[in-house]
Amino acid sequence: MTARKPAGADVTGEIADEVSGEQPNDPNFMTSLARGLAVIRAFTEREPNLTIADIARITGLPRAAARRCLLTLMQLGYAGTDGRTFFLRPKILALGYSFLSSAPLASILDPLIERVSGAVQESCSAAVLDEDEVVYIARAATKRIMSVGLNVGSRLPAYCTSMGRVLLAALPEGELEAYLRRAALKPFTERTITAPDALRRELERVRERGFALVDQELELGLRSIAVPVRTAAGAVVAAMNVSAQAARVTCPEMEVQFLPHLTRAAEEARVLLVRTRGV
């Protein structure tokens, strides 16, 4: 059985739901801004070129509204067109850079994951939880090991990724229960945990062990192990992981070879976070 496309690569339903959830009764809510952001999010690695009809379908916007958003983005230099389809221009990176450059967490974790990656000769990443997905804030890749390329800013479902499980396990009980009620636990492989009760038990195990190990649940042939990144007060603010091809390393070997490096890096991050304001 082949792995299915990660949820972060298909955001059609999610974006349409967000746009349809506009709040016309809130005088502080800017519908035009919400629509513009929805149009930006419609572009993905799999669909970098989209027509107006594509944008309207993905976002749920009327074609006229989608067209106005695209033309506005073009005038501002964030989008371009070949005459039929539209695409994002490099200037769009400035939006993500504004967050990364102002976030001490990313700057602290970046050299740590580089060091871990160099030590274990595997890809290492850091991510935070954003609603029901993990968002990569730092990454050191030795080679491409997934069918979908991952970079800073990439999003993946939380429930079937090692960093996602570490972050979900740290949620307060009420927030976790709300997540389990609303999350669509889709199978990416035959190994993916899709039952809420089974996922709850696995998250309890993650809390007890202090790390998460996911074996080919997101994509066949991919294993990953993750640990939480905590502040001095013990709050989990991020996760760090190492990913590797299943053919090269077993689950027990991951615990022996990779976990100590991740644990040391997370402890060092905790010390550094004490010295950083705003974290």
Domain ranges of the chain: 7-95, 103-274
With contact defined as beta carbons under 8 Å apart, do 135 and 127 qualify?
yes
In this predicted structure, what is the pLDDT of residue 44? Answer: 83
Point out the least confidently predicted range of 61-65, 146-150, 217-221.
146-150
What confidence tier does 10 reach under pLDDT thresholds 50, 70, 90?
very low
In this predicted structure, what is the pLDDT of residue 146? Answer: 53
- For the domain spanning 103-274, the CATH number is 3.30.450.40
Query: Per CATH, which fold does 7-95 belong to?
Result: Arc Repressor Mutant, subunit A (1.10.10)
What lies within 8 Å, CB to CB, of 160 at 6+ separation is 185, 188, 192, 193, 214, 217, 218
In this predicted structure, what is the pLDDT of residue 4? Answer: 39
Span 2-21, average pLDDT: 47
- Are 7-95 and 103-274 in the same CATH fold? no
Arithmetic mean of pLDDT over the chain: 86
What confidence tier does 31 reach under pLDDT thresholds 50, 70, 90?
confident
Closest CA to 136 of 102, 120, 119, 113: 113
Choose between 200 and 28: higher pLDDT.
200
